[in-house]
Amino acid sequence: MRIRPAEPGDRAGLRVVNVAAFPTPAEAHLVDALRAQARPLVSLVAEEDRAIVGHILFSPVPLPGHPALVLMGLAPMAVTPARQRAGIGSALVRAGLEACRRLAADAVVLLGHPEYYPRFGFTPGVRSGIGCEYDVPAEAFMVLELRPGALRGASGKVRYHGAFASL
């Protein structure tokens, strides 16, 4: 397996993975919209035998009142169902977090499974005073500081890109 940055010619492969991994094509549409509209963007694919078997996307999420903070939101992450539970998702998360560090992001937020993401260091956002603009269970909205202390004194609810409204 190889992880690399997504390229413009990967659109069809990204759609196939996202449509297969989720119950509706909404995430595939979200990926298209974010790739076209959001900057900076971290979009990585996992390839096996030149076929895309996984994808992860990170896009900016501002925290109103804290314009100097650079926060990235992890969403979505998809792995082809036949290749799930093979370490591909974990490899994508690790590579994506490293790419966010290289962009000098202060932290990453996500809405996800509270049993899965703590292995990467994510903790509930409420512990950091950071919340989600959507009404979600507190344990499902998580944050990971990439720069220690970056969130000290920060609080509020992150705002996702407008493309998320279609989910």
What residues contact residue 67 under an 8 Å CB cut-off, 6+ apart? none
Q: Determine, yes or no, domain membership for 104.
A: yes
Residue 166, pLDDT score: 78
Q: Determine, yes or no, domain membership for 167.
A: no
Q: Determine, yes or no, domain membership for 166.
A: no
**CA 66 from centroid of its chain's CA atoms:** 20
pTM score, whole prediction = 0.95
Q: Determine, yes or no, domain membership for 101.
A: yes
Amino acid identity of 150? A
Residue 165, pLDDT score: 85
137: Cα within 13 Å, side-chain hemisphere: 5
pLDDT, one tens digit for every residue, the chain (167 residues): 999 999 999 999 999 999 999 999 999 999 999 999 999 999 999 999 999 999 999 999 999 999 999 999 999 999 999 999 999 999 999 999 999 999 999 999 999 999 999 999 999 999 999 999 999 999 999 999 999 999 999 999 999 999 998 77
Residue 134, pLDDT score: 94
Range of the domain at 10: 2-161
- Are 80 and 21 within 8 A, CB to CB? yes
In total, how many domains does the chain have? 1
Q: Determine, yes or no, domain membership for 28.
A: yes
CATH at residue 66: 3.40.630.30
